[in-house]
Structure 1
Amino acid sequence: MPIITRSLAWVPSSRSGFEGLTLTLTPSGATAVGHITADPDDRDPERSTGFEVFYRIECDEAWRTRHVSVVENSTNRALELWSTGDGHWQGDDGRMLVALSDALDVDLSATPFSNTLPIRRIGLALGQSAEITTAYVDVPSLQVSADRQRYTRIAPSVYRYEALDGSFVRDVEVDDEGFVTDYPGLFTRVGR
């Protein structure tokens, strides 16, 4: 397989902002490098601040997350995580993160690219579903927690995403490669 580079971009639905991502695919895996800017959310200005985030996600050939780094530019907060690919995570201080046991994917709250990771890794057939645990990274706080989720392929290009705590459900549209094109109420892809 030759090295393939893709550029993807999204805009958030509820605020001004932009995400640009460069994805490099090689025989040994995928590396995503992204930059996200977001103005405060006009619908909730007291609780929502603007942010600027740079991130890098490295996956192995099976789309299991192996390394994550995130920097929130306005506060200089940074986060770095490593994974063995089988549910064991380590923080930037070298300690094992037992709370993330069984997580194979990272879920950065500010990017729909996070949804591509389990979609590509699991490879659901139409009508199938799978429950997963992710290493959820809240942006802009960069707080990390385990998050149980379910993906169900309800149409050839539509996956139902559900937070297993019942707090959130969306039918996410993707292209033929599993990259989000429309995440209702949250993100829309721009360009090709």
Structure 2
Amino acid sequence: MKTMIWQGIYYQSLEYFNLQSDDETYTVESKIIGCHEDKMYAVNYRILIDKNWVVQNFLIESEINKIKRTFSGKRDQDQWEINNDLHPEFNSFKFIDISLTPFTNTLPINNLKLSEKSSQKIDVIYIDVLNHHIKPVQQQYTRTSIDKYLYENIENDFKAEITVDAKGLVISYPKLFEKIAEL
């Protein structure tokens, strides 16, 4: 369906991204390599998403400075099991946000279907791959034009205006990510 390469500006990375779909789901498989601060890393992630752009399960395998780690998560109705433990703090969360990729912004953008000038706050599972940490965060998306969204992290006041293509995939995320190729 779509293959892209993103350049991570802040994270000094390249991501080879592939999105496939069938009648019931979207499947994302992606590979990221990079070097940020004192960390050299390689990350492979796979996400299964329903047709409403709600995450059903994910697998993130990373190697950071030769240390291998995994985050695996699956939704069971409104509950999340991550690395084989139930996490009630994520009950009813629909989305994940993986620190090293702009793709996970596509999930709420396509799910919320905001009209121009409207906004919505959401809860997400934030996955900080480089520090191997997950936590709940609140974010807000505001559609500022047909292809632009203002992303806000409520917790730390971070804001960025993201430009997306017709499929809701990030083209430009200022100072963080830029699309550099696509098939």
Give the TM-score of the pair, scaled to structure 2.
Answer: 0.93
**Residue 85 (structure 1) shift:** 5.5
Letter in 2 for 1:89: W
- Which structure 2 segments of 5+ residues have no match? none
State the number of aligned residues: 180
Matches within 5 A, 1:1-192: 5-40=1-36, 45=37, 48-73=38-63, 74-84=66-76, 86=78, 88-93=79-84, 95-192=85-182
- Aligned-pair identity in percent equals 26
Q: Could you tell me whether the CA contact under 8 Å between 2:11 and 2:176 is conserved in 1? A: no
Question: Which structure ranks higher in relative contact order (CA pairs < 8 Å, sequence separation ≥ 6)?
Answer: 2
Root-mean-square deviation (CA, aligned residues, Å) is: 1.4
Give the TM-score of the pair, scaled to structure 1.
Answer: 0.89
Distance 1:15 1:145, change over 3 A: closer
Q: Could you tell me whether the CA contact under 8 Å between 2:97 and 2:124 is conserved in 1? A: yes
- Which structure 1 segments of 5+ residues have no match? none
Cα displacement string for residues 116-146 of structure 1 (whole angstroms, at most 9, x for unaligned residues): 0111111111111111011110022331111
Cα displacement string for residues 90-127 of structure 1 (whole angstroms, at most 9, x for unaligned residues): 1222x310111231001001000010011111111111
C-alpha separation in 1, matches of 2:157 and 2:116 = 24
